[in-house]
Amino acid sequence: MYPITPEIKIFSGNANPKLAHEICSYLGTTLGDATVSSFPDGETLVKINENIRGRDIFIIQPTCPPTNQNLMELLIMVDAARRASAARITAVIPFFGYARQDRKDQPRVPITAKLVANLLVAAGVTRVLTMDLHAQQLQGFFDIPVDHLYAMPVIIEHIRSLGLKDLIVVSPDVGGVKMASAYSQALGFGLAIVVKRRTSPTEVEALHIIGDVKGKNVLLVDDITETAGTLTGAAKMLRENGAESVYAAVSHAVLTPIALERLKNSEIKKLITTNSVPDQTSSSDRIETLSIARLMGEGIQRVHDGESVSSLFEVGKVD
């Protein structure tokens, strides 16, 4: 067991430094001094420029695009901290890349999420703090503690502030029913489901709706969107079936150019997301980004103090 020391040291790679600074501001500290850059040949260069011997180290680095670059930065930073005699190293990964490659759904394919877990542990990570994993069973891929937070309290607080009436929560596919159900219970509104069929890696066809959305304001909820095909296809069908307006709430918006174009031409009035990946609000007036700095900062503080983080799962408990 690694002792929890009195002093936190927080470092960040280049994936989302703005979020790292916001987290430090919430905790009343400053970001640790580290050089994270590249050699001329593209290899990652890391140097920690201060003493961290015996410290409790937290490295904030979502593995969002460029995924491989950000993952390598994280692994090398962890190795540098371990070799500098850090007491404990927690990888703070607000967005966990490769999470969708969590099983063998075809012959001769890897389980890359398990490989990433093995790499993190081999590098020297002693604990992981993450948010809204695409598949919660990924926690079992690690033989070290994993603290799994949820963006729902942050997003629901914002949804309530909008004062929407006659709201119904909709899952854009059958796989997201559990998440949508949690939102509907927290908000106290009904639940519906859009049944879809994926026709290609970037194309999705919405087939039919289970539930009545006529005259309702709809909140589509999902954990991640990249091409926005699922969301925009579902929004189109919902409007065709009489929905008054369509909002979408997504924990991780890893938006590609095709996603931005689809959102621009879609029936989605507003896409509400978090800054688990770099903020893309400026890319479209339909995107609204909420900060998870308080949530992640509170999680870091509680991990450091040896306290429970489970109360952060409750709506309205992010103080």
Could you read off the pLDDT of 205-225 as tens digits, one per residue? 657 889 999 999 999 999 999
Residue 118 lies in a domain: yes
User: What CATH number should be reported for the domain holding residue 197?
Assistant: 3.40.50.2020
Residue 158 lies in a domain: yes
Annotated active-site residue 236? The verdict is: no
- Same domain? For 240 and 178 the reply is yes
Task: Give the span between the Cα atoms of 239 and 311, in whole angstroms.
Answer: 37
Number of domains in the chain: 2
If we measure between CA atoms, which residue out of 25, 60, 121 comes closest to residue 276? 60
Hey, which residues does 149 pair with through a beta bridge?
131
How much of the chain, in percent, has pLDDT values that exceed 90? 81
Residue 2 lies in a domain: no
Residue 265 lies in a domain: yes
- Same domain? For 246 and 163 the reply is yes
- Same domain? For 197 and 212 the reply is yes
Domain containing residue 58: 8-150+293-313
What percent helix, strand, coil does the chain show, rounded to 5? 35, 30, 40
Q: What is the predicted pLDDT for the residue at 3? A: 47
Residue 182 lies in a domain: yes
Residue 14 lies in a domain: yes
- Same domain? For 94 and 158 the reply is no
Of 114, 165, 196, 236, which one is the catalytic site residue? 196
- Same domain? For 131 and 19 the reply is yes
Q: What is the predicted pLDDT for the residue at 313? A: 76
- Same domain? For 114 and 220 the reply is no
Could you read off the pLDDT of 87-141 as tens digits, one per residue? 999 999 999 999 999 889 899 999 999 999 999 999 999 999 999 998 888 899 9
Residue 4: pLDDT over 70: no
Confidence grade of residue 201 (pLDDT, cut at 50, 70, 90): low
Instruction: Identify residue 29 by its one-letter amino acid code.
Output: T
Q: What is the largest CA-CA distance in the chain?
A: 61
Phi, psi of 248 (to 5 degrees): -130, 140
- Same domain? For 158 and 59 the reply is no
Mean pLDDT computed over 169-195: 92
Residue 1 lies in a domain: no
**Residues 6+ positions from 45 with CB-CB distance below 8 Å:** 35, 36, 37, 38, 39
Mean pLDDT of the residues in the chain: 92
- Beta strand segments in 167-284, E: 167-171, 190-200, 203-210, 217-225, 245-253, 268-274
**Residues 6+ positions from 218 with CB-CB distance below 8 Å:** 167, 168, 169, 170, 192, 235, 238, 243, 244, 245, 246, 247
**Which residue would you say has higher pLDDT here, 174 or 288?**
288
- Same domain? For 261 and 205 the reply is yes
**Which residue would you say has higher pLDDT here, 124 or 313?**
124
Question: Which token pair is 68?
Answer: 């491989």
Helix (H) or strand (E) holding 48: strand 44-48
Helix axes 257-264, 229-240, angle to 10 degrees: 10
pTM over 0.85: yes
Residue 119 lies in a domain: yes
Hey, which residues does 48 pair with through a beta bridge?
34
- Same domain? For 111 and 223 the reply is no
- Same domain? For 81 and 123 the reply is yes
- Same domain? For 157 and 129 the reply is no
- Same domain? For 83 and 162 the reply is no
